Amino acid sequence: MQSLLFRIQRGLPLKKLNVRPETVEGDLSLVVSKPTKKGQPLVAVPSSAWLTQQVVRSSSIGSLVQDLEPWLQIALFLLHERSKPDAAWQGYLDSIPAQPDVPLFWSEEELSQLEGTQLLSSVQGYRQFFEAKHAELEEQLFAAHRNAFPPHSHELDDFLWAVATVRSRVHSPLDGEDVALVPLADLVQHSKVQGARWQLQLAGGLFSKAQALVVEAERDYAEGEVVTMDYGAPVTGEDEGKLDSQVLLDYGALDAVRPQGGFILSLALPEDDKYYDDKADILELNGLSEAASFVLRANEEPSEQLLGFLRLLNLSGQDAFLLEPLFRNEAWGHMLAPVSEANERAVYESMMDGCRAALQGYATTIDDDLLALRDTLPGTRLEKAIMVRLGEKETLDATLAFFEERYDKLASLEFYQERRLKRLGLLDDDGGSTYDSFFVDGIA
């Protein structure tokens, strides 16, 4: 183990951390070796130790893969290095599990526990995409360059290992076009509790362009604690963060103590909508597209944006006057509040029907899942599967309850016409007509 850890470090001294196996499968984690205060660096990994596109391009396969996506270049480099017993990156490769714990590698029996879930659909979509990409590479790259990619190094399972390894070990800000694998830093474990974060810093002085990835403590750490970070944390102020299912899909991790279940609702403006062009124009004016996805969470009410989108989708009949050019710049603002009783009823009924239909698509109920969790070993794939499907169902159940409650209060809501009359001073705050008093007082 000591020789392996030395090679993983690639010459990087560990002053505040130790590396230890975290599971029986040999997964590694970073453990604090001396108390560290919030805001202090736990480890800094210079860019010279990262596995980047530049490393790939300077290798013997660089010219072969330079036109591919950044993540794919690094995945293919892993395959190439894995086939060489004396590879420079062998120590790092030895630290990577032979099979990532992501659902892409789950057995059919394990995946059956996800029946009816959005996660299962995502896993199937991932697999279809990667299988198609592998077939494309087999025809256009592997077959023509057997020396660089020997047959035993690029079987489908090997390819899936490489792409899953890249996806499960990258985090912001070293993702997307700037994707990089960072030895040691990528051993930070997942937890929803505030623990640490990745951040880039200049290394080597004020005038140096060299960078280092710093794992910074976001709380005080005591000796012996495992370093963690939230894989699903929001990246920007507008980012809502990832759900458990999304973190599990990409990283194979789930914090069962602090679950963050949810459901992703995808909506689209029907192309046969009589008012399609007008509605599409309103959406475009407000930075929205004809298709949108909204994240539902069990402990949060549906967002104003979702309700606005639903009202616009269901706008018809007498309410269609709001689509006229006269109202174009203000139309979206009107969608963020109830338009009419008929429109609001259509919104609620569509959501209630959708939630009920989705709940019927699962093989188990919420009560079934709660009972199953009691007899499930912590940290297992079975527990993760149950937590994800339970989170989806609890979210759908809470969303259904929200719209059922709103449906029962339809008659008490204030709609567009009432709001307009109040702005004109023709209705008081209690909904009474101020116009009637005009005659009572004998002014006319």
Predicted confidence at residue 13, as pLDDT, reads 59
Same domain, 332 and 366: yes
Domain final residue pick, 177, 197, 220: 177
The interaxial angle of helices 70-82 and 156-168, nearest 10 deg, is 120
- For 104-130, give one letter per residue: b (16+ CB within 10 A) or e: bbbeeeebebbebbbbbebbeebeeeb
Cite the DSSP H helix spans in 213-340. Answer: 244-251, 276-285, 304-314, 331-335
Question: Taking a C-beta distance cutoff of 8 angstroms, is the pair 351, 310 a contact?
Answer: yes
In a domain, 436, yes or no: no
Same domain, 279 and 417: yes
Please check whether residues 268 and 122 belong to one and the same domain: no
Q: What is the pLDDT of residue 442?
A: 46
Are 268 and 303 found together in one domain? yes
> Which residue, among 307, 391, 390, 312, has the nearest Cα to 351 in the 3D structure?
307
**248, 170, 250, 174: which is closest to 212 by C-alpha?**
174
300 & 393 share domain: yes
Q: Is 166 within the bounds of a domain?
A: yes
Looking at the fold, whether 386 and 275 belong to one and the same domain comes out as yes
Question: Is 246 within the bounds of a domain?
Answer: no
Domain count, the chain: 3
Domain span at residue 40 reads: 2-50+182-229
Clarify whether residues 412 and 316 are in a common domain: yes
Q: Which residues are catalytic?
A: 231
Question: How confident is the model at residue 396, as a pLDDT?
Answer: 98
Inside any domain, residue 429: no
Domain of residue 155, CATH code: 3.90.1410.10
Report the pLDDT value the prediction gives residue 31, as an integer from 0 to 100. Answer: 93
CB atoms within 10 A of CB 85: 6
Residue 311 maps to a domain: yes
CATH of the domain at 387: 3.90.1420.10
Neighbours of 174 (CB within 10 A): 21
| DSSP annotation string for 35-91 | -B-TTSEEEEEEGGGSB-HHHHHTSTTHHHHTTS-HHHHHHHHHHHHHT-TT-TTHH
Q: Are residues 278 and 130 in the same domain?
A: no
Please report, for the domain that includes residue 18, its CATH number.
2.170.270.10
Q: Are residues 44 and 60 in the same domain?
A: no
Written as tens digits, the pLDDT of the chain (444 aa) is 344 444 444 555 577 888 887 654 457 899 999 999 999 999 999 999 999 999 999 999 999 999 999 999 999 999 999 888 778 898 899 889 988 999 999 999 999 999 999 999 999 999 999 999 999 999 999 999 988 888 877 899 999 999 999 999 999 999 999 999 999 999 999 999 989 999 999 876 655 678 999 999 999 999 999 999 999 998 876 778 899 999 999 999 999 999 999 999 999 999 999 999 999 999 999 999 999 999 999 999 999 999 999 999 999 999 999 999 988 999 999 999 999 999 999 999 999 999 999 999 999 999 999 999 999 999 999 999 999 999 999 999 999 999 999 999 999 999 988 888 667 655 555 555 555 554 444 444
pLDDT at 147: 86
User: Does residue 190 sit in the same domain as residue 288?
Assistant: no
pLDDT at 425: 58
Whether residue 222 lies inside any domain: the answer is yes
- pTM for the full model? 0.88
- Are 367 and 342 contained in the same domain? yes
250 is a domain residue: no
pLDDT for residue 418: 84
Q: What pLDDT does 266 receive?
A: 96
Examine residue 101 and state whether it is found in any structural domain, yes or no: yes
Does residue 40 sit in the same domain as residue 187?
Answer: yes
pLDDT of 151 reads 82
Residue type, 103: P
